[in-house]
Chains A and B, each alone.
Chain A
Amino acid sequence: MGLGAPHYVQLGFVSITVPNLVVLGLMILVFAAALALRLPDEHGDDRTDEERKP
């Protein structure tokens, strides 16, 4: 199985391969999305208690 040399990014003394950079980026992205988005509750009602008040 022929494998090429990995693509990498050099930032000063930091050297990171592109696949590793993608994984790190995705981790930050998914964490931010988990904080930003609201988890629907068990009944599919994603209003806050305040919004639910008449």
Chain B
Amino acid sequence: MRAELPSDTRQPRMKPYDLVREALLALGFVLVLVLVLASVFSSPDAPALTIRGYATARPVSFLQTALRELDGTGTIADYGPPYNHGTGSLQSIGPISPQRWAGVRIPVNTAQDFVLGPLTDIAPLQPALQTALSQFQQASTTQRASWEAAYGKALAANAGQSASPAAPAAAGPVGVMLPALLHIAQLGGLQGLMLSSSTHRSITNDTLPLLFLSGPALTAQAQHYRLLSTQWGMMNETGNYPGAVWLWLYTLWYQVPPFSSSHSGDLMIMGVMGLLTLGFILTPWIPGVNRLPRTLRIYRLIWRDWYRQ
């Protein structure tokens, strides 16, 4: 390993300088700059998506999401740690899987937390719903699946429509339960019921509502604003505003194989970025990189008066 780049040993003359004045001038300059930028360009604030807004604007999509949470075919239902024991989003590199090691820490049972729990909460207001819930809960798994499939078929036939279809008789109690869930969601009650559910009690913790919205509801809007990871979205901002430009390298990996095609892309990219960040912090000791300034020769411009002497 070669020694560090040599410094000039000539003794420099000293010149008067006022560091405090420099700091104050810099502060004044930046202050004027941000005031001008804020006045001219303002800042972005695309309104948050609510479950109420989603249920009102796209009722069929809402019902399909709710049905997937009920029958366990949704992304979150089979996600894996830290929410449940699924494997759908479980990432690993060979035997290395910090996600599995960390275990289930925020238990989410989508059928219970997103559908059955809120419906049980409002059932006292609606005798028909009370009956449907009892019927559903006493039925066999096969029977439930058959009802769910029948309702799912009716929804699929109406996908993209602005009004929800009438439930077929074959949907049984599911045809009562999900429209009741849609109704309470459109009235604005579902988000509150999720936030007040006994297992996740905290009004400042949006985990449940956001997991519910994380599917098609948010994806459609994110795509509009080019926020998807496949669109270099991590460095983008809603509207025509600069975003987190400093995440360019992190975002870049998501565009190239093997990361872009791997099921464990996140884990691989976090590993790569962890190593690169360590390298960045330890730059003074990284052979080659710590001699790059000599090759770039930018220092000769910065100290050109000094070298001219």
Contacts and interface: CB of A to CB of B under 8 A. Distances in A.
Q: Do A and B bind each other?
A: yes
Interface of A: 1, 3-8, 13-20, 22-24, 35-36, 41-42, 48-50
A1 B42 CA distance: 12
> Contact size class for B?
20 to 34
The winner among B46, B232, B309 for most chain A CB atoms within 10 A is B232
Contacts of B256: 13
A22 B112 CA distance: 48
Nearest to A23: B242
A18 B18 contact: no
A18 B240 contact: yes
A27 to B, nearest CB: 8
Interface of B: 15-18, 44-47, 224-226, 231-232, 235-243, 245, 255-256, 298, 301-302, 305, 308-309
B11 to A, nearest CB: 15
B309 A6 contact: no
Nearest to A24: B245
B226 A6 contact: yes
Nearest to B256: A13
Contacts of A15: 226, 231-232
B305 A5 contact: no
A41 B44 CA distance: 41
A7 B226 CA distance: 9
B242 A35 contact: no
A6 B18 CA distance: 44
A28 to B, nearest CB: 12
Given A1-B45, A6-B237, A19 B18 contact: no
Contact of A22 (B45, B236, B242): B242
Q: Is the interface of A mostly helix, strand, loop or mixed?
A: mixed
A6 B255 CA distance: 19
Contact of A19 (B231, B237, B308): B237
B15 A42 contact: yes
Given A23-B245, A35-B298, A49-B309, A6 B17 contact: no
B158 to A, nearest CB: 28
Contact of A50 (B45, B243, B308): B308
Contacts of A5: 224-226
The 9 A-B pairs with the shortest beta carbon distances in the complex, nearest first, are A3-B239, A19-B242, A23-B242, A35-B301, A15-B232, A48-B305, A3-B46, A20-B245, A3-B238
A50 B237 CA distance: 50
Contacts of A18: 240
Nearest to A12: B255
B225 A3 contact: yes
A32 to B, nearest CB: 10
A35 B302 contact: yes
